[in-house]
Amino acid sequence: MMEHKIPFNKPHLTGKEAHYLYQAVYSGHISGNGLYTQKCQKYFEDRWGFKKTLLTTSCTDALEMCALLLNIKPEDELIIPSYTFVSSALAFVRQGANIIFADSNDKNPNLDAHAIEEKITPKTKAIVVVHYAGIACDMDEIMRIARKHKLFVVEDAAQGIDSYYKGKPLGTIGDLSTFSFHETKNLQCGEGGLLGINNEQFIERAEILWEKGTNRAQFFKGQVDKYNWVDIGSSFLPSDVIAAFLYAQLEHIDDIQDKRKAIWNKYHEGLKPLEAKGNITLPFLPDFATNNAHMFYLITKNPAERTALISYLKDHNIMSVFHYLSLHASPFYKEKYKGAELDNANYYTNCLVRLPLFYELGLTDVDRIIDLLINFYKD
C-alpha cells in the first residue's frame, strides 16, 4: 500500500484569520493603512526594533521601494548574490542599473563576504544581501565593507523573520530590509511583504512612495493641512483585509517557529549518519547565526544524484524540490553577464534539495522521509 502523499509545502492557518478578516471588513476601513496594518507594523517595530516598518503587497514590492528610495539610476551598480530569487535583482534592473552578481560562499548559499570588495567600483551604490534559509550573512564584515566604501546595504530578509545575527534581528542591520509573507514563508497572508527602515533618512520619503507619491501620512499626522502629490511612488500598501490575516499569524509566531524548529531538528539529527558517511552535506550554521527553520535543505554530491533522489522520493509520494537557478546564468541575464563563472552558486543550483517543511508536517512523517533517504543511500 502506498503511504499518504506529503506535499512540499502547505500553508498554515492559526485559526484567527477569518475572525480578523471579518473585523477588518466590517470596521468600515477596508483599504490600506487601517487598524490591522498599524497593529502589524507596531508589532514588528516593538518586537524586533525596526525604526519604522511599512506593510507592502509583497517582498518584491518592498524591494521596489528600496530601489526608489536609494534613487537607483542606470549608471549605478549593485552587488547582489547570483543564488537568490529573481526579486532580489528585479527592482534594481527595472531602474536600469547594472547588477554585479557575486558568488555564494562554499559553506552555505549566503553571499561570500570576501567576494564583495573586489567587485566595488566608483559606480557601486549598494550591496543587497539575502539571508538564505533564514540563516544570517556575515553582517559585521558586510557592513564594514559598505561603510568603508560608502555603500548602502539592503537586506532581503524574505526568509529571515525572527532570526538573528549575533543577537540582532535580521532586517534591522542594513539601511533597508524586506520581508515576504508569501504562502511559502514561515508567516504568511497569501501574498504580502514588509519594508523595514533602519536608516532614518528614508522614513519620511518611504511613507510618501508607499501612498502614490502623496504626503497623506503627514496630512493624517496633522503636519500639513491638505495632502498633495509631492514625489514618485505607487500603491505599495496592502488592503487592511490582508493585514488582518497577517496579524492572526503574527500573534502565533512563537508557536509557528517552535513547531518548524522541531521538524528541522528532527531532520538534522536523523540525517547526520548520512553526512558522516559522506553521502550528503547538511546545512551549515555559522556561530553568529540562529536558525528560524524556514527551510530544510541538503546538498547532494552531483546533479545526477539529486535528480535520482528527488524522483525516488516522488515514487514514495514525497515531494522534494530543488531551488534557485543562478541568476547570472538565467535566460534573461546570461547575455548581459560579463563576469567569471560563480562556482559556488552553480554548485547550489545543481546540487541543493529542499525537503518538505510546514507546520502540519508530523514528526512521524519526518521519520518516514529520513528512513527513505537512508534507504536511498544504502550501499
Ligand X SMILES: *Cc1c(COP(=O)(O)O)cnc(C)c1O
Footprint of ligand X on this chain (CB under 6 A)?
58-60, 84-85, 87-88, 130, 156, 158-159, 180, 182, 193
Q: State in angstroms the smallest separation of the CB of 18 from ligand X.
A: 22
CA distance 6 to 123: 48
Task: Count how many Cα atoms sit within 13 Å of the Cα of residue 99 in the half-sphere of its side chain.
Answer: 30
Q: Are 295 and 134 in contact (CB under 8 A)?
A: yes
Question: Could you give the residue ranges of the DSSP H alpha helices within the chain?
Answer: 17-26, 35-48, 59-69, 87-94, 139-148, 203-210, 216-220, 240-250, 253-276, 303-315, 343-351, 363-376
Cβ atoms of 162 and 292 within 8 Å: the answer is yes
Q: Could you give the CA distance from residue 284 to residue 276 in angstroms, rounded to a whole number?
A: 14
Q: Which is nearer to ligand X, 158 or 161 (CB)?
A: 158
Are the CB atoms for 63 and 154 separated by under 8 Å? yes
Output the smallest distance, CB 324 to ligand X, in A.
Answer: 9
Residue among 84 and 198 whose Cβ is closer to ligand X = 84
State in angstroms the smallest separation of the CB of 128 from ligand X: 10
Cα 244 from chain centre = 21
- Which C-beta is closer to ligand X: that of 84 or that of 290? 84
Nearest distance from C-beta of residue 98 to ligand X, angstroms: 20
Least distance between ligand X and beta carbon 323 (Å): 9
Non-local (6+) Cβ contacts of 286 within 8 A are 107, 108, 135, 136, 138
Task: Please state the closest distance from residue 194 (CB atom) to ligand X, in A.
Answer: 9
Q: What angle do CA 172, 151, 108 make, to 5 degrees?
A: 60
CA dist 31 to 24, 237, 288, Å?
Answer: 9, 9, 41
Nearer to ligand X, 34 or 193 (CB): 193
Q: Which one, 60 or 349, has the nearer CB to ligand X?
A: 60
- By beta-carbon proximity to ligand X, the closer residue of 156 and 211 is 156
- 3-state class (DSSP) for residue 92: helix
CB of 59 to ligand X, least distance (A): 3
Q: Scan for cell 518538505, then name that residue.
A: 356
Distance CA 48, CA 42 (A): 10
Q: How far is the CB of 131 from ligand X (least distance, A)?
A: 8
Which CB atom, from 60 or from 249, has the smaller least distance to ligand X? 60
- Which has the closest alpha carbon to 139: 94, 184, 172, 108? 172
CB of 325 to ligand X, least distance (A): 14
Pick 177 or 279: Cβ nearer ligand X: 177
85: which 3 cell numbers? 530569487
Q: Which is nearer to ligand X, 159 or 290 (CB)?
A: 159
What dihedral angle (degrees, nearest 10) is formed by the CA atoms of 216, 218, 224, 228? -30
